[in-house]
Amino acid sequence: MLREQFPILNTSVYGHPLVYLDNAATTQKPLTVINAIDDYYKTLNSNIHRGVHHLAAAATELHEQTRRKVQHFLNARHSHEIVFTRGTTESINLVASSFGKRYIQPGDEVIVSGMEHHSNIVPWQLTGATLRPIPFSDEGVLDIDAFSSLFNNRTRIVAVNHVSNTLGTINPVKEIVRIAHEHGVPTLIDGAQSVAHMRADVQDIGCDFYCFSGHKMYAPMGIGVLYGREEMLQELPPYQGGGEMIKDVTFERTTYNELPFKFEAGTPSVGDTLGLSSAIDFIESIGIDNIAAHENQLLTYATSQLLQIERSRIYGSAPNKAAVLSFLIGKAHPYDIGTLLDKLGIAVRTGHHCTQPIMDRYGISGTVRVSFALYNTREEVDILIKALQRIAPMLD
């Protein structure tokens, strides 16, 4: 049984079996991933890339094998286009910092979408650029005509998410990249909410950068990925300085290591890399298309059930949606709904979900967000709906 591979799903909260519906925040980890990390520390722990001894060589080999696995997972052209980071946030900061130093002057512009996570807004603001957000409809669909009209000779990069963590919208990233490239502008895609739920093929999308976090795809926290097109990465200055990213150091001058090591200063989180490797194996053993189909069924069912609850409103009803369901009931504060659900063992997220501009767009302070993963079931949706029916009369 799939769920048996996730020990935490067998636990209870306040005497109720845990119903975990906060997967957009982080997914739970299967035993194979937990064991991969455990095995590393029990049998292989050593610092990689710099040792002649057996442990260092063996750990280096597994670490670099993972890079090749990620390359195939994203269908990147080369393994040196895969840079390990701590997560999506660090990947975006790396690009904003390095790309910003090279190409962004005060007064230049960065196009983002109106539905970005703060981590795809703030790093660009730190470059001194002016942000130009792509507007979106009430349903949560980006206005592509408006997007096309945002370009001018100060536009330096387009940075948009593949899937919105609040509205669930799957954005037409291939079309967005095509339009940006027609204007001669490079692109970064934030894949934090896509890689665990749908195929992400960087060559098909055609983007220059793609970012994701391991912990949202069944891997541990502390490991993430930046894919960068080779020609693009070659042009960028390093992000951080330190060991591993250098070729030669004197007090006068330093030359930098080749890709991808130029962007990987210091000791990497090897145990977490091996956890990521195991998580990719896990996803591939089930099949990303099977995962997408299952989560889609849950989303369709949960949406229809939720709409039957009196005074419920869903935020985000794009025709092309991933397994995220944001909603409110009447005038109730999302925090109150979340707290009452928690008492029944149901874990959901409440608040602005690090997307305050979306909340401003709808004139609300936050939502309740349910988000599905491959281990969620129809029965869990029924438990959620029953709980909401029970608590709805207690609200406002």
Ligand X SMILES: Cc1ncc(COP(=O)(O)O)c(C=O)c1O
Known catalytic residues? Answer: 354
Cα–Cα distance measured from residue 186 to residue 158, given in angstroms and rounded to the nearest whole number:
6
Nearer of residues 155 and 161 to ligand X, judged by Cβ: 161
Of 180, 224, 170, residue with least CA distance to 206: 180
Q: Minimum distance between the CB of residue 110 and ligand X, rounded to whole angstroms?
A: 16
Least Å from the CB of residue 261 to ligand X:
22
Q: Which two tokens stand for residue 334?
A: 């999302």
**Site residues (CB under 6 A) for ligand X?**
87-89, 117, 119-120, 161, 165, 190, 192-193, 213
Question: To which H or E segment does residue 350 belong?
Answer: strand 349-351
Q: Which token pair is 79? A: 């393994």
Give the residue with the Cβ less far from ligand X, 188 or 314. 188
Q: How far is the CB of 322 from ligand X (least distance, A)?
A: 11
User: How far apart are CB 159 and ligand X at their closest, in Å?
Assistant: 11
Q: CB neighbours of 393 closer than 8 A, spacing ≥ 6?
A: none
Query: Toward ligand X, which CB reaches closer, 49 or 353?
Result: 353
Q: From CA 297, how far away is CA 303, in angstroms rounded?
A: 10
Instruction: Determine which helix (DSSP H) or strand (DSSP E) holds 85, and give its type and residue range.
Output: strand 82-85
- Helices 270-286/288-307 angle, 10° precision: 80
Closer of 44 and 373 to ligand X (Cβ): 373
Let me know: does 81 contact 260? Beta carbons within 8 Å.
Answer: yes
Give the E-state strand segments of 179-245 in sequence order.
187-190, 209-213, 224-228
- Cβ proximity to ligand X: between 118 and 313 the closer is 118
State in angstroms the smallest separation of the CB of 361 from ligand X.
16
